[in-house]
Structure 1
Amino acid sequence: MTSGTQQHPEQGSTERRSAEERREQLIDAAVEVIAEHGLTRATTRAITDRAGLALGAFHYVFDSKDELLEAVIERVVREIDATLGATAETVEPAATRALEGPDLVVDVLERFLRGAWAYLEGTRTLQLAQYELTLHALREPEKHHLAVHQYDLLVGTLSGILRDLTDELAPDTSDELARFVVATVDGLLLQWLVDRDAAAASRRLDRYLTTLPAIVAAHIER
């Protein structure tokens, strides 16, 4: 005789799938609420309301708001990182271009940054949430590693792109150059989020790109 409470395998699979779907809904909603209203107003109630779920759904998939925020940070970083990786795939391989040395590095960086900036402009909500979450991680000592992790991931992605597409830089040089470029784009992005002037941001990016030969040369000659 079987127990009346025995769970059918398909039922367990459905419940797991439902939990995963709710988790993704809550993460999506959290990104939107944080970007629109800030972290302090991103209450569990506000997030579940945005997701169209009952408050109890939150505690069904997350033990705490901090656990949700960690998941959101991971999602934001992974999404940005994946998009930057996809942008790199659109950059023409070095073997098909008649360039070498610093000129090749500059060419790869310029093509990549133009593609990356187009993505950043199209994901303003996501970028706002990323800044909010970074500040949150910096204020909480036990979450500081999340802020470090996101920049290590972004720098690592760009550094790997430079090495894969140019074959001109040693690992330590590509890491330093990538970190410098990420820091600069971070500043350009924050200024655009503040003034919301896309045309001015585009002009600043163009001016920055004209400095790439000197920046690359400075890193190669270190």
Structure 2
Amino acid sequence: MSNYVDALHREDFVPRISAAQRRSDFVNAAVEVIATYGIEGATTRRIADQAQANLAMLHYCYDSKEELFADVYEYVAGRYRDVIKDSEPHSDLADTARQILRGAMEFYLESPSFAAATLELISWARRQHGDRGIAVYDQALESVRAALRGAAADHPVEPETIDQIAYVIATLADGFAMNWLTYGDRSAATEQMAIAESVLQSWLVVRVGSTSGTV
């Protein structure tokens, strides 16, 4: 107990940081550690070290690693929502679909740790918790579908078509992420982004027709 109190006291010698900020730091640190060491290697010690905090502070903010990982899942889902929101041009369905795909691939390209951690988290969650792994993916897909529905408001399309476009975007983005993480070749990845966009564009022309001058 004295070691725990001493460790907390040592935190007093650094500028005061709110508990909310500390929790955010630990979540971001967990993403980096999971990307590097996988779920099994994501110990609380490594996460605390990555966050440049002591272990006692992590346990002060989180009662268990399970509780910390719950926040990590919410962070992952939130980042996908942000990427999709930032990618929406609100012009038409086809352009919105392309921009979402481009935004997702650019985010993966610039955030390889996030991409690696996300794939690891979803795979692990499906093995351990079932529904949680599905929920993370479902939330990301629903964000895509919502953006597509908004873009198609003036020219409504069938819900099945929205589902299909969201699926194609997810498949292309996930395939891009896997290739980028496997080879780490930025030049090749940039070319593959263009290929993925052309595949989506060709599919959109066949499935929904030309909805803008750029298709």
Range of TM-score over shorter length: 0.7 to 0.9
The 4+ residue runs of structure 1 with deviation greater than 4 A are 217-221
Equivalent positions of 1:197-212 (< 5 A) are 197-212=185-200
CA–CA separation in structure 2 for the residues paired with 1:127 and 1:210 = 22
CA–CA separation in structure 2 for the residues paired with 1:108 and 1:18 = 38
Give the alignment partner of residue 157 of structure 1, picking from 143, 167, 172: 143
TM-score, length-normalised on structure 1? Answer: 0.76
The answer as to whether partners of 2:126 and 2:134 remain within 8 angstroms in 1 is no
CA–CA separation in structure 1 for the residues paired with 2:21 and 2:148 = 37
The structure that has the greater radius of gyration is 1
CA–CA separation in structure 2 for the residues paired with 1:23 and 1:35 = 18
Task: Report how far residue 203 of structure 1 moved.
Answer: 2.2
Match of 1:175 in 2: 163
Q: Find out whether 1:125 has 2:123 as its counterpart.
A: no
Q: Unaligned 5+ residue runs, structure 2? A: 1-16, 210-215
Change (3 A) 1:106 1:44: same
The answer as to whether partners of 1:31 and 1:126 remain within 8 angstroms in 2 is yes
RMSD over aligned Cα atoms: 2.2
The answer as to whether partners of 1:48 and 1:54 remain within 8 angstroms in 2 is yes
TM-score, length-normalised on structure 2? Answer: 0.79
Q: Deviations over 1:35-81 (max 9, x none)?
A: 12222221111111222222222221222112211211211221122
CA–CA separation in structure 2 for the residues paired with 1:20 and 1:112 = 30
Q: Find out whether 1:93 has 2:81 as its counterpart.
A: no
The answer as to whether partners of 2:96 and 2:151 remain within 8 angstroms in 1 is yes
CA–CA separation in structure 2 for the residues paired with 1:211 and 1:120 = 18
How many residues are aligned here? 191
Equivalent positions of 1:1-222 (< 5 A) are 18-88=18-88, 91=89, 93-94=91-92, 105-140=93-128, 143-167=129-153, 168-216=156-204, 219-220=207-208
